[in-house]
Amino acid sequence: METIDYYNQLALALCLKAKEQTAALRPLGGTLAREAERLSRYDQAMRLRSLKARVLHEVGNIREAEAIAGYVSTKVGLGFSAARLALGAFMTNVPSNRDVRWIGKLLLSGNPPRDKPFGTVIVALGNEGLPDGVAVIPLSRLARESDRSESEVKASLQAEGSFLITAEDFCHLLGKLEKKVLDGTLTLPVTLEQLRSESGLL
């Protein structure tokens, strides 16, 4: 029959073994923490790349629609045919594409706005910063729709707190931010204030 001393020795042996295992696992804990941090930085960098792809896709779509609208606006004044009127009526009823509806209205219009701007697209950074506070702005279209100049629309957006930047400069900015994120010197989200304070970013 085992005595108290036996159980005490067994408990001591188990404690010693647990301490040895804890000591052996301690370096592994540091390694796992570093790997988790590295994966987090990589995930944030991928979010920036995804944002860049989304912005470039939206900018491309808007510029394509603007090119069509600009072409149509120069041709509308040359005269109307039954086919052009029919096409305009059809295009104004396309529910899912605002640009197509605008071109349709232009076809039906008797006075095409040939002096209005076309093609300017910018990126607006809002107070939420990156990556959530980013919007692609069809500046020329907004100017036409509101019967204002592009500079007036820009001033209005800036008065609302947006920082405006070209799509090309925005993509360059994302490249700089991605390097900082991967280096571990910056984490998402990045506020407008952080962007302004980071030398050379804004």
DSSP state of 43: H
E-state strands within the chain: 122-125, 134-137, 163-166
Residue 26 belongs to a domain:
no
Residue 98 belongs to a domain:
yes
Higher pLDDT among residues 48 and 79, named by residue:
48
pTM, two decimals, is 0.69
Residue 108 belongs to a domain:
yes
Q: Are residues 182 and 150 in the same domain?
A: yes
Render pLDDT for 166-195 as a digit per residue (tens, 0 to 9): 999 999 999 999 999 999 999 999 998 888
Q: Are residues 180 and 135 in the same domain?
A: yes
Q: Are residues 142 and 161 in the same domain?
A: yes
Q: Are residues 144 and 104 in the same domain?
A: no
Residue 19 belongs to a domain:
no
Work out how many domains the chain is built from and give that number: 2
Backbone angles phi, psi at 117, to 5 degrees: -80, 155
Q: Are residues 122 and 202 in the same domain?
A: yes
| Residue 132 to residue 43: CA distance in whole angstroms | 15
- Per DSSP, the residues of 55-86 read HHHHHHHHHHHHHHHHHHHHHHTT---HHHHH
Higher pLDDT among residues 158 and 7, named by residue:
158
For a pLDDT cut of 90, what percent of the chain falls above it? 46
- Residues of the domain holding 193: 118-202
Residue 92 belongs to a domain:
yes
Q: Put the strands of the sheet holding 163-166 in their side by side order.
A: 134-137, 122-125, 163-166
Estimate to the nearest angstrom the gap between the alpha carbon of 46 and the chain centroid: 12
| Residue 150 to residue 156: CA distance in whole angstroms | 10
Q: Are residues 168 and 93 in the same domain?
A: no
Residue 173 belongs to a domain:
yes
DSSP state of 198: S
- Boundary (domain end) residue, out of 115, 145, 176: 115
